[in-house]
Amino acid sequence: MLGASPYYTPDHEAFRDQLRRFVAKEIAPFADAWDEAGEFPRALYRKAADIGLLQLNFPEEHGGVPADRFYGIIVGQELARGGSGGVAASLMSHTIGCPPIARLGSGTLQQKVLPGVLKGEKIAALAITEPGGGSDVANLKTTARRDGDDYIVRGEKTFITSGMRADYYTVAVRTGGPGMAGVSLLLVERDTPGFTRTPLKKMGWWASDTATLHFDDCRVPAENLIGEENAGFRGIMLNFNDERLGLAASAIGFAQVAYEDALDYARLRETFGKPLIRHQVIRHKLVDMAQRIEASQAMLERIAWALDQGESPIAALCLLKNQATQTMAFCASEAVQIFGGAGFMRGARVERIYREVKVNAIGGGAEEIMKDLASRQLGW
């Protein structure tokens, strides 16, 4: 609506065009079938790596490509055009599973994990949330007790994206006393004895592989410690800024898809002898959707720019995540309303997006947590 954004260079736009073609060819035609199947082919990871999607913002020495955060925005919003949050979440689970390894892991650990993941040959996941803990990371219960050259891990994690078929899991464990000072990060490999997984059925993200992880006295080599012992909380916090920015970008992307599909449908559908869009109430709905998307996108890009300048606008990020997910919720609801009965039928992108609203509002910190964190950052 406002034309080109000043934040994007010709290189950004070339990457956007390439990714949009990839999504149109490799994801969108299959999104419905993959959703019904509850998974997508593992070969998609290699195809994504072939166009440079998986490598963004990882170290060059391990096969990565330096990138600013506007490339990440493009990724989130172009993948949204495939209409499946589940595909996007699992395909990109390494963007939360691997950064602690890239930033804090030993050279040996980085070389073990990163090249295969960035080539699309391996899958990485992050395992923080526990059945009784949610976002209360500082009080996690899963323990890792040092025993010679190993840690013995006991406990559970849940709601883990790529939980069933990941090859590498970055797992938050308690190695010390209570609170954040006793938390460490360990790399757990999928074939570790005593490590099992249970798939979960969900309201949305059906194509995403989501699981509960069970650690029954798993023996993990001490060399798989990511960073220093009892210093894992910092590694977890380093993830949050970009995770929340990515969730916001994706939510706004899905809001845009809902708006575009509703607009197209309103132009084609006739009611009471004229196109649906000729009814003032429908035009007002579309304008309300466009208004929220424009405001949210402006906020997203301003905060991405600040992060690229080295700032850490935590309060603004919390507000952004809520703004973006509320925009997605509004646009998804209005799009289904404009579609009417057709929006209630499986196979419509707006139906799937409507089902997936809540996971965006909960993941990365629920709306209530974002409000509380923002208010504390602002000194209230």
Please give the backbone phi and psi of residue 169, each rounded to the nearest 5 degrees, phi first. -125, 125
Asked if residue 299 lies in contact with residue 323, where contact means CB atoms within 8 angstroms, the answer is yes
Catalytic residues: 243
Neighbouring-strand partners of residue 183: 174
Q: What is the dihedral of CA 372, 323, 71, 103, to 10 degrees?
A: 10
Distance CA(289)–CA(260), nearest Å, equals 10
Distance CA(200)–CA(291), nearest Å, equals 36
Asked if residue 261 lies in contact with residue 140, where contact means CB atoms within 8 angstroms, the answer is no
For residue 334, give Cα distances in angstroms to 82, 277, 282, 290: 20, 14, 9, 11
Strands 183-189 and 150-161: unpaired
Distance CA(294)–CA(261), nearest Å, equals 17
Q: Which of 237, 233, 196 is nearest to 96 (CA)?
A: 237
Coil, strand or helix at 114: helix
| Token pair belonging to 373 | 């964190």
**H helix intervals, the chain:** 10-26, 31-37, 43-50, 69-80, 85-91, 94-97, 99-104, 107-118, 232-268, 280-308, 314-339, 349-355, 357-362, 367-377
Please give the backbone phi and psi of residue 226, each rounded to the nearest 5 degrees, phi first. -100, 110
Asked if residue 11 lies in contact with residue 70, where contact means CB atoms within 8 angstroms, the answer is no
